[in-house]
């Protein structure tokens, strides 16, 4: 199976607007359903949530593996774009906090899929390395701005902050774990604040 099977754009021909819309709806529905119901959620239920038929889902994503990978990469694309859009926000610390909260949603989506992720270890590692580097760069741009403006100390690298937040998410076991992580993010950010007069 090729890693490109989940890609929907045929060679030599642009994708139709309705096909692009259907793909976006499927990705959005899959994100919601996987985060809520886990990786074994019904593909029929995802198609229904997206308002399309199961055949449309399979045309875009021939296997569950393709859908998992596409949802994860779509979420990473969203986080990278969010970081780029917030690099000039008037409150850099609030922009950083918002981005870290969005990261929690990505972890929820990924955690919902991870137990049944059927892709090979080699493919999983390649996807993980590429997306991890993109997330670290995106987070780094927000963190650097806070440090440059002397709002936060240069105590942790972007990689450290990313690992800290993901770790906070992965140790949670309660159904409402996403709400429980929010105050922990505030504690992490408060711990990085520069002391008054520093």
Contact between 194 and 152 (Cβ < 8 Å): yes
155 within some domain? yes
| Phi, psi values for residue 185, rounded to 5° | -65, -40
Domain count, the chain: 1
SS3 181: helix
CB atoms within 10 A of CB 91: 12
157 within some domain? yes
Contact between 112 and 35 (Cβ < 8 Å): yes
Domain that holds residue 99: 63-192
51 within some domain? no
Task: State the pTM of this model.
Answer: 0.77
- Cα 14 → chain centroid: 27
53 within some domain? no
166 within some domain? yes
13 within some domain? no
Q: What is the pLDDT of residue 126?
A: 62
178 within some domain? yes
Q: What is the pLDDT of residue 113?
A: 59
Q: What is the CATH number of the domain that holds 98?
A: 1.10.357.10
pLDDT per position as a tens digit, 11-62? 556 668 888 999 999 999 998 888 778 777 899 999 999 999 999 999 999 9
Angle at 114 between CA 174 and CA 95, to 5 degrees: 70
Contact between 152 and 93 (Cβ < 8 Å): yes
HSE value, Cβ hemisphere, 13 Å, CA-based, for 25: 17
83 within some domain? yes
């Amino acid at each position: 199976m090729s890693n490109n099977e989940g890609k929907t754009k045929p060679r030599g021909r642009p994708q139709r607007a309705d096909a692009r819309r259907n793909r976006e709806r499927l990705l959005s529905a899959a994100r919601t359903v996987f985060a809520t119901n886990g990786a074994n959620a019904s593909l029929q239920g995802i198609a229904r949530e997206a308002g399309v038929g199961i055949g449309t889902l399979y045309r875009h994503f021939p296997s569950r593996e393709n859908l998992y990978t596409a949802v994860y990469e779509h979420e990473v694309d969203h986080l990278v774009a969010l970081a780029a859009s917030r690099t000039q926000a008037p409150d850099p610390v609030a922009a950083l906090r918002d981005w870290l909260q969005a990261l929690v949603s990505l972890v929820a989506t990924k955690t919902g899929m991870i137990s049944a992720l059927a892709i090979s270890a080699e493919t999983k590692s390649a996807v993980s390395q590429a997306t991890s580097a993109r997330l670290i760069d995106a987070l780094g741009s927000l963190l650097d701005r806070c440090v440059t403006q002397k709002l936060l100390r240069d105590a942790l690298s972007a990689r450290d902050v990313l690992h800290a937040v993901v770790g906070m998410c992965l140790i949670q076991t309660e159904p409402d774990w996403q709400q429980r992580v929010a105050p922990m993010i505030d504690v992490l950010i408060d711990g990085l604040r520069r002391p008054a007069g520093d």
